[in-house]
Structure 1
């Protein structure tokens, strides 16, 4: 196998053309086999096999810096830098990350995970290179989807001003460009980057500049004429007008063609964008036909592409999908907004039934939130469905455009809490902390699938900013007999006994139920309260339970700093309540990738760990009283 010859960076440069084509096929087979077992990002990786190979041929790692936007498409990059063995533990706890990680390899220049960041990071590398007097090349890869993010345009605007080499690769796996336009563009691209052309252009400009009065006018006229001609035949004039040289489109599955273009791009004294056309899922028919399904695939059967295990119970996203369809049916003012995650957030059914009230704004969370604010100001009831970790990107818009005006925008926050295999960049552990700090914001968290439905109905008919946060994974179906109406700011007392009280938020109610059962079995009285509202907290109930309990234990799937527990503790301290408070939450650290149950145990929010901590605290309290 040719793949066996790749042990370290730049080994690919030892291969001939025939071996390169064979390597591409071997990489695809390897990825399909491994991801069918471990799960992971398949379609995007299959689409960039040749592109990645061409980049590794044209650049030298780790001296040159290669930055992948989002980074979920960097599996081939990891293979070509000697990490083949790591795929047996891909995305497992303690194993290789599914994203670039600087601590994992010198060839990973920047930790990524969220979209639209690679050009900014690459530009930073370029400026540092020049200031430090280095000569290495910098290349940033960004997808056509990521270009819908505003940050990418901020970076492009900045990049257009530089006079030093910076290569940007636009990985376009969706746009269709006609052959004629592509051929003309390729020809002009080759001419523009040829050394003779650049030298002639610079000589002519310098000569004309010496002519008094008329020289500058002649230069400007030539530039205007050239730009007008290019406008007719070059599809990349948008980039050209920003001051960025455009090359392409290039066949993203033709290694030799891409290598030639990359070598030309390295000669440009400025920012240069290479437009590469690729096909998501290439080489594996199920992924080609259903690229969205194989974006983040669960373990699957290679022969059919079908998941190895079928879900028999709904997850929280399914429940949200169902209630949104019903809400859309009942109220024509309800509109739904997503930032390029219609399927991931469960809005596909709403989109199919109410296309005129569904809006996918692309990877642009900031715009999504302010867009929703405008709709709310005009009298609609916008629901912004977003992953917890992606809502971080719109903090200013939530604060400035929604909450200051007290506008009725509903935030449906999916994947709140630990999400597992995608690691630090995707764990939804901060939304409680940053949302509770904002005046006018109301936050709820459901204990089970039925409460999510009830809370969404409450939220849509609420007045003012409101968020409902719920976890990734199977929706809890326990405690179904406990379903009182949702009342503003009011928690739910599920079991009431003296001694210890578990005050649990959302997903942690299930864990608290297990903890309570264990405590009861060994002789401890224990109450269980479902917080429901995380802002405002139910101060009345807290005051009441403080009268006949020695210890309040708050449980939340959020970082401890600024979370639900800290708000409860502050209230207890400020009011002088005679009760101890123990906060169970995620430590003040980033949590890496791994199985969610294992991660919970590692950070101490599993039932067994919590029970041990409570017993120790309660014994200590008993000795002190």
Structure 2
């Protein structure tokens, strides 16, 4: 790969020294560079390929970093990172101690705002623009690049609504490619589709109705047209929006044709584009597939079951039910708040509603969980995927806060299966005359059990189990971290007698089981893959205090800091809850006692 131009670009200042006619060649080199690195190092591919020309045009026309550029969502910002001084480190993308896969303020002055979740760019850029006005700086430009799937989010509409009554120097670039991770959905998608095929909105232009100056739609891969549009918009005051049409995966045939797979395809052949096969035949299934296939099985038996997900049908595996029962499974787009309250509304009418949502995205619907579900004691089942540390996506995506922020909510049952069979049985249990809301949280990735399709069995709410008897120390675990505990106990061998209990439920706690443990052990270790502040360990400590327990309880969990990106095994070790770290702590406690 020859980088005749790109190799000399160390900052946007270098980029702006090029002649406009050289930018086409630069776009070709930038696209090839992204493909070359991501093909072997993995990462988000399609989104960044789709905005190569747009990225170049933005940095060429605007005086970044003086002009402030916000990317939404950040996984489309690979080209931006490469052009802003991080080309030589791009191979470390999403690796431990490497650069982040998302914009990050402490990483570069060109990353004006951290964006891992969607739909935040308009509000952030508007805040920056108003701040500039208050400081008397009326020349600075403020640009938000937002995808069509993200602009359909409620928060984006809130930002648009406010911006339209200001005189802020704000430019919104709507990157319209008709897809987020899965295809975009909803009425706004239909509206944008009409605009892009030539039915240019006039009297009913929703953007102009919100007091924006509207331009477009234009071809987002036509550099001369992009440069012309940006130079024109720089001269216009007030809020404005440029509607840009792009193709996700542009420049790699397979990525253009299968945009879902090539959002983050893993390793692939950079010449042919073919995804390199993984030897998954003898592996246990992913937890998300255990959820999706079990829910489909249950839905085939019970017509009252419905499924809801905010823009993650493939990632959550609700797609299985959507394909089989399209009238009973709903992708509502990037709208977590709506998803939760929609579920609440359906629950009032007797449906058994399963809301599949990533832990990190459930944070965006916290009020709805409390106000619309728990307060009314509605039996919505929250299927919380990607709980715990998720690896290379990093701090914005780790699902480590749900145990703590859900535990304080009245009426809510909180369960965390240790394995795929427990997940299956908890889903079944949730269909059996559930009278209150329930959260079932499970991790990203694969379990350990291949033969998980066991007969359905209703589990007792609030009852844990003993996995191994012992006499020297008791280890209490919640959720899939149980596997690390079991591995650590096996590695200790016969030197000590270690008991292991799977609590299964954070709320209600199995108080009978805990009382028996308190009676028997003076040394107890709690382990969770959630934040150590306010979660499972604290719940056990609180109960121990009511029982006047006089022994020692040692809490293990995610430390009170944001965990960065890296391989999942590396991060569990850094957090002190890998199998080896657990073993070290067990031996230390036992040797001291």
Q: Which residue does the alignment assign to 2:338? A: 367
| Partner Cα separation in structure 2 for residue 166 and residue 606 of structure 1 | 47
| Partner Cα separation in structure 1 for residue 514 and residue 256 of structure 2 | 55
Q: For residue 14 of structure 1, give the secondary structure of its aligned residue in structure 2.
A: coil
Alignment counterpart, residue 358 of structure 2, candidates 374, 377, 387:
387
| Partner Cα separation in structure 1 for residue 441 and residue 233 of structure 2 | 46
Q: Which residue does the alignment assign to 1:261? A: 229
Given the superposition, is the C-alpha separation of residues 519 and 322 from structure 1 closer, same or farther in structure 2, using an over 3 Å criterion? same
Q: Which residue does the alignment assign to 1:357? A: 328
Q: Which residue does the alignment assign to 1:225? A: none
Q: For residue 316 of structure 2, give the secondary structure of its aligned residue in structure 1.
A: coil
Q: For residue 96 of structure 2, give the secondary structure of its aligned residue in structure 1.
A: coil
Q: For residue 343 of structure 1, give the secondary structure of its aligned residue in structure 2.
A: helix
Within 5 Å, give how 1:323-472 maps onto structure 2: 323-461=294-432, 462-472=434-444
Matched, 1:497 2:433: no
Q: Which residue does the alignment assign to 2:165? A: 161
User: Considering only CA atoms, is the larger Rg found in Structure 1 or Structure 2?
Assistant: 1
In the TM superposition, residue 516 of structure 1 has moved relative to its aligned partner by 1.5
Q: For residue 344 of structure 1, give the secondary structure of its aligned residue in structure 2.
A: helix
The number of residue pairs the alignment matches comes to: 571
Aligned residues of 1:520 and 1:526 also touching (Cα < 8 A): no
Q: For residue 10 of structure 1, give the secondary structure of its aligned residue in structure 2.
A: helix
In the TM superposition, residue 177 of structure 1 has moved relative to its aligned partner by 4.3
Aligned residues of 1:253 and 1:278 also touching (Cα < 8 A): yes
Given the superposition, is the C-alpha separation of residues 532 and 484 from structure 1 closer, same or farther in structure 2, using an over 3 Å criterion? farther
Q: Which residue does the alignment assign to 1:297? A: 265
In the TM superposition, residue 133 of structure 1 has moved relative to its aligned partner by 2.3
Matched, 1:43 2:15: no
Aligned residues of 1:11 and 1:80 also touching (Cα < 8 A): no
Matched, 1:577 2:549: yes
| Partner Cα separation in structure 2 for residue 441 and residue 419 of structure 1 | 25
CA deviations on 1:297-347 (whole Å, 9 max, x unpaired) are 212223242234242321111111110110110110000001011001001
| Partner Cα separation in structure 2 for residue 279 and residue 181 of structure 1 | 17
Aligned residues of 1:93 and 1:592 also touching (Cα < 8 A): yes
Alignment counterpart, residue 504 of structure 2, candidates 515, 532, 535:
532
Given the superposition, is the C-alpha separation of residues 168 and 571 from structure 1 closer, same or farther in structure 2, using an over 3 Å criterion? same
Aligned residues of 1:301 and 1:308 also touching (Cα < 8 A): no
Matched, 1:241 2:209: yes
Q: Which residue does the alignment assign to 1:250? A: 218
Alignment counterpart, residue 506 of structure 1, candidates 465, 470, 479:
479
Structure 1: gaps (5+ residues): 186-229
Aligned residues of 1:543 and 1:577 also touching (Cα < 8 A): no
Within 5 Å, give how 1:27-426 maps onto structure 2: 27-134=30-137, 135-174=139-178, 175-177=192-194, 181=198, 230-231=202-203, 237-302=205-270, 303-312=272-281, 313=283, 314-426=285-397
In the TM superposition, residue 143 of structure 1 has moved relative to its aligned partner by 0.6
In the TM superposition, residue 422 of structure 1 has moved relative to its aligned partner by 0.6
Aligned residues of 2:196 and 2:245 also touching (Cα < 8 A): no
Alignment counterpart, residue 593 of structure 1, candidates 545, 553, 565:
565
CA deviations on 1:431-453 (whole Å, 9 max, x unpaired) are 10111110001011111111111
Aligned residues of 1:10 and 1:80 also touching (Cα < 8 A): no
| Partner Cα separation in structure 1 for residue 472 and residue 451 of structure 2 | 22
Q: Which runs of 4+ in 1 moved over 6 A?
A: 478-481
In the TM superposition, residue 485 of structure 1 has moved relative to its aligned partner by 5.5
Aligned residues of 2:428 and 2:458 also touching (Cα < 8 A): no
Given the superposition, is the C-alpha separation of residues 605 and 500 from structure 1 closer, same or farther in structure 2, using an over 3 Å criterion? same
Aligned residues of 2:40 and 2:267 also touching (Cα < 8 A): yes
In the TM superposition, residue 165 of structure 1 has moved relative to its aligned partner by 1.6
| Partner Cα separation in structure 2 for residue 478 and residue 510 of structure 1 | 15
Q: For residue 407 of structure 1, give the secondary structure of its aligned residue in structure 2.
A: coil
Aligned residues of 1:410 and 1:460 also touching (Cα < 8 A): no
TM-score (norm 1): 0.89
Q: Which residue does the alignment assign to 2:20? A: 17
In the TM superposition, residue 152 of structure 1 has moved relative to its aligned partner by 0.3
In the TM superposition, residue 546 of structure 1 has moved relative to its aligned partner by 1.4
| Partner Cα separation in structure 2 for residue 53 and residue 168 of structure 1 | 16
Structure 2: gaps (5+ residues): 179-191
In the TM superposition, residue 107 of structure 1 has moved relative to its aligned partner by 0.6
In the TM superposition, residue 62 of structure 1 has moved relative to its aligned partner by 0.9
| Partner Cα separation in structure 2 for residue 179 and residue 143 of structure 1 | 14
